[in-house]
Structure 1
Amino acid sequence: MRVILATVAGCLLATTAFGAQARALSQNDRQVCGWGAQIAAEAQQAKLSGVTLYATRKKLQARKFAKPWMRMTAFGITEQTYNSRSRLKPAAIKQTYYEQCAQHAVAKN
């Protein structure tokens, strides 16, 4: 019972800490993390569907990006997603990516 209470307390602290961090994110950081999370989710969906990395990269190459840095970043995110052994659903990948990106953005500021 103590272990469960300690775990619940730890989760509440982590949630509270993350909530405070989320407020510290700038609008730009939220947009960049959301964009990257979407790219990761799309890559995971393609990977789970059996689409090759080559085909996914080719599709990204034809895609229009708003900023010059986005294309190479999308390639990097896609490559890392394909190299991962994860079989998580795309929605879980999207959430995990966003949370880790947000933590990184808060830490660098």
Structure 2
Amino acid sequence: MRNVLVVLMSCGLAGGAAFVQARELVEKDRYMCSWGAGTAAKAQELKLSGVSLYAARQKLQTYKFSKPWMRMMAMGITEQTYDSQSRLKPAAIRQGFYDDCVRYKVARK
């Protein structure tokens, strides 16, 4: 009986630790997912309004980014958005990107 109790408690603690780590990862990367979702939504908005990919890239070059990785990631997100055949509204793109990003970050941990 004592062995069963020890095994159950250790499994419970291990599961709780994994949950806390996954939750911590989401909180730490929430900004990046939110920023990427906003970038994807803006790119979709430009695409639906008829702005060319070249003009969208030029517009990105004028933005001031707070972190060095943001410019290249914004370029990649914009290109992927333009390559897709999707005609969804920018709000749907934002939510889908955010959900997928969070799911990826949690699964990666």
Determine if the TM-score, normalized by the shorter chain, exceeds 0.5: yes
* TM class, shorter-length: 0.7 to 0.9
Which ranges in structure 1 are unaligned for 5 or more consecutive residues? 1-19
For 1:98 and 1:55, the matched residues in 2 are separated by: 25
Please report how far the alpha carbon of residue 27 of structure 1 lies from its aligned counterpart in structure 2 after TM superposition.
2.7
Match of 1:27 in 2: 27
Task: Give the AA of the match of 1:41.
Answer: A
- Asked if residue 74 in structure 1 is aligned to residue 79 in structure 2, the reply is no
Q: Specify every segment of 5 or more residues in structure 2 that has no aligned partner in the other structure, as ranges.
A: 1-18
Give the drift of 1:39: 0.1
What RMSD over aligned residues (CA atoms) do the two structures have, in Å? 1.3
User: What is the CA distance between 1:62 and its match in structure 2?
Assistant: 0.9
* TM-score normalised by structure 1 residue count: 0.77
Runs of 4+ in structure 1 off by over 4 angstroms are: none
What number of residue pairs does the alignment pair up? 88
Residue 86 (structure 1) aligns with? 86
Aligned counterpart, 2:65: 65
Residue 28 of structure 1, CA deviation: 2.8
